[in-house]
Structure 1
């Protein structure tokens, strides 16, 4: 005899139509899977707000970097340069000579940005590592040695540029130096002590340099402390009682970008690239806000925008006069 399970029998009260209605149908798509499409007005609002937020982030970051963060960046660069230069001095491999691109063995000698000297002025609490080159990009890390002059302490005139307003403003107080103040430099040839003989500005006579002596000239911008305006160049002259020998091979001149108060227009292509990336990022944010929540989009994109703003600010600084 066959045993039938009562659970397999249809209930007398259920009709075939009722059983079909009780079967689970296909699930409706979750409303959380995608964001509701934006209306035309909402798309316009998202477009305008995205552009304004991007512009605000870039402008605020640039201002913060120029006023505060640039100083931290320069301080970090100085720490690394000091460690590198101290190691070179201890190993007796610190640079002492030519700025020619190649030496007799075909090796590059002094490339822009390399540390070449330590500069100290106790009266104004100045202690900075001097790098090779005086273009705006070189001066982002510290004072720069003009490549067509001798190194500090060598026979002849050594010229060092420094910023007065941005990126640590290492030379903002050099006009406070007075006649008789001491300035000390350390290079691969040794330590040299200079005595300040005066401060001069454009049009003032240049004091003659005695034969066999070393002169140090510090240059920066004056009158630029109230804003990013070029101002005027100011110079501090200091002489030493002796001098180290100066090797031959310096360039006879430097490019326009490495002269006093000069911008570096060679950075324009890089600026165009940075701006194109910011525009592309803005378009990406606008497109993403149509699919995902605004908060999620900005949490992901904000660090990228900040990084692009940082790079753009460094490029913009190269287009400003190198001494501010």
Structure 2
């Protein structure tokens, strides 16, 4: 019988016994089928738990069995977190690792494989909060202009393609994975529609508006592209006709920000931040912006109010006569 497409392949962990490895495989299958987590999230969780088990094998001096793991103590978890911090792992990555480990522990408890309360008793690391760094409106517009790269030794259709992707990121506030995940059939021709159905994190879909001038840029790219773009194929393709890699757009942004004098924070994701910040600064409703961005929680979107407040204070301090 062929294995289910939704199930990850069996894990091979030299640091863990077969019983624990089997439970970890079941846990990942559960996350994929029931929780509908994205492939990248599953990979991160699996990697974090694998690193934890590798640490425990060295910490305890032997293979980690299911029974031994169920007797995990808080001091073991803290020792792992301290070791990761010594390797200069950022607090956000540590928090994700702890979240994955706790998820695995809860799964084992639900399956009746023991209680791993030590994972819940360890406090999550504090994360230094930093505001997203949006781009100025003029800079965001220039990034979506193919003429800004006219001097580069690249085929014209590639420059048009990159500009169309960046116009889409800024015009609709998409994640780069969402933009490059669009099929040709998902993108209406100019004048034939004004919305996109986007597949976001956790395989959740949402409808987002798209500007007609952005659709015109995408249509210009499609006309210039030397490859056939079938309805079921990717909207944006690479130099050899396959799906376009996010890294290509990241490199294009790196070249552009050098020419435009933009900081290192000017990344493709900064265009998404710019979309949200510029909408909010012009009176956009926070709840509506949450829906457009596909944030599960309003608190995630509220970070942009901090940017707007910070800008108001800058204006106040520079313009008020008594400042």
Tell me the TM-score normalised to structure 2 length. Answer: 0.21
- Between structure 1 and structure 2, the one with the greater Rg is 1
Which one has a larger percent helix, Structure 1 or Structure 2? Answer: 2
Which one has a larger percent strand, Structure 1 or Structure 2? Answer: 1
Q: Compare relative contact order (CA 8 Å, sep 6+) and give the higher one, 1 or 2.
A: 1
Tell me the TM-score normalised to structure 1 length. Answer: 0.21
